[in-house]
Amino acid sequence: MSEVTQIIKGMDQLNSLPDAMRVAIFGTNGGIGEAVMERLSAHPKVKTVESFSRRHPDPTRRFDFRDEASLAHIGEALAQQDPLHLVIVATGMLHDQDQQIHPEKSLKQLTHEGMSTAFLVNTIGPALIGKYTLPLLAKNSKTVFAAISARVGSISDNQLGGWHSYRAAKAALNMMIKGFALEMKRNNPDSVIIGLHPGTTDTGLSAPFQSSLRHTLFPPNVAAGHLLGVIDGVEPYHSGSVIAWDGQIIPA
């Protein structure tokens, strides 16, 4: 499977997607989700942006991954409207100071709470969003379901170890993306289901680790432009892949 050959950097014209698009974004209280929402809300090809988050000011737009019914209610409300063309899941958790959850440096630091929370936020939640939104994608035109994943979810690329729960949860998310892609290919072959690696972005998720970075730190707005450029460039044959911000396919 080839990389996304379109020029990615900051390009988000969305020419490959239909006009008057309907978009749903989950996780708009986070840095990337908010930046994507702002770009798409101002985009001339986008008709409607439906935004959802854990702390949304509108209670009908809040979700809780511990309460599947909250996602089912959102799905029911979206189903009463026109089909969706783009769904972006921008949720994720690497650490939580309130719960004293941190990425593990060794297996001795594994805890039931840390592992279960990592899987809830990084795997189960996005998978349930897929359950309730993938059937709502429009047919007979390109549509995209994109979930924020991470390069560290690649099993074959793991040369350092550590971060066990986060790596495993993202690897599990990548498998869900692959499975969803195979299922959707049978009844909606124009849909594209992908994971997206945004690179290291200047958000709360990366804040504790920025001082040791050896590569570029992207502002959220720049990262959002990269990801929308990838979304514009993908084709149905990319479905099931995890793709980095620069268009490179990340190995499983």
Please write the tens of the pLDDT for every residue from 218-237: 999 999 999 999 999 999 99
- Indicate if the pLDDT at residue 98 is higher than 90: no
Give the three-state DSSP class for 69.
Answer: helix
Q: How many helices (H) and strands (E) does the chain have?
A: 6, 7
Alpha-carbon gap, residue 67 to 90, rounded angstroms: 18
Comparing CA positions, the residue from 140, 155, 133, 125 lying closest to residue 242 is 155
10's tokens: 């900051």
What architecture does CATH give domain 21-250?
3-Layer(aba) Sandwich (3.40)
Q: Which pLDDT tens digit goes with each residue over 171-204?
A: 999 999 999 999 999 999 999 999 999 988 876 5
| Contact (Cβ atoms closer than 8 angstroms) between residue 192 and residue 238 | yes
Q: Which of 129, 165, 172, 128 is nearest to 149 (CA)?
A: 172
CB atoms within 10 A of CB 139: 11
**Domain ranges for the chain:** 21-250
